[in-house]
Amino acid sequence: MAPDEAATIQDTAETKMLKAIEALEHDLAGIRTGRASPALVEHLRVDYFGTPTPLNQLAGISAPEPRLLVIQPWDRSTLKAIEKTILQSELGLTPSSDGSVIRLPIPLLTEERRRDMVKLVRRRAEEGRVAVRNVRREAHEHLRRLQKGGDLSEDDERRAQERLQKLTDETIAAVDEAGVKKEKELMEV
């Protein structure tokens, strides 16, 4: 029964690590590359009647041109709140409104801004690696407790630790790959 518990711990760790990669990729999608992408703003939280609500739940977001986002609120009363949220975000974009839609032009990135964005990507990738290592540490501790409690033999615990390390290495490689891909995207002129 003990190897089954080790497999369960392994599966749980793998699921958590995959979620860390998904979270990183979603986070990186919101970092501006000079091309319009709805992912750039959909995560922004707008104050909607006192409740922070994701922008994609308040409006339709489209990219009709490579350098333009159009945000069409379903409730026009949210127009000002959406504009305010965009201005206060770290995106550095200036919205323009005609009373029914918000146009968000995406300017070309300067070399200095690209370098700043690359630093941000590297910081987010490091946060992803830390999240993966934390999952490994939790699973590692759980396996040790099972082994010390007599529910898992030393050999089974060692094999489980090796599988866990291999999974961690593969996941960190995927995190690094996502970061490098985003950096290349940012440095394209």
Taking alpha carbons only, the member of 74, 11, 17, 65 closest to residue 46 is 74
List the domain boundaries for the chain. 2-29+110-187, 38-105
Q: Does the pLDDT at position 147 exceed 90?
A: no
Side-chain-side CA neighbours of 76 within 13 Å: the count stands at 5
**Domain over 2-29+110-187 is classified CATH 3.30.2140.20:** no
Q: pLDDT tier at 2 (50, 70, 90 boundaries)?
A: low
> How does 17-40 read in b/e, with b if 16+ C-beta sit within 10 Å?
beebbeebbebbebbbbbebbbbb
Long-range pairs for 59-68: beta carbons < 8 A, 24 or more residues apart: 59/102, 62/38, 63/36, 63/37, 63/38, 65/36, 66/35, 66/36, 67/34, 67/35, 67/36, 67/105, 67/106, 67/107, 68/36, 68/103, 68/104, 68/105, 68/106
pLDDT tens-digit series, residues 39-98: 778 888 998 888 888 888 889 998 888 888 899 999 888 889 999 998 888 777 888 888
Architecture of domain 38-105: 2-Layer Sandwich (3.30)
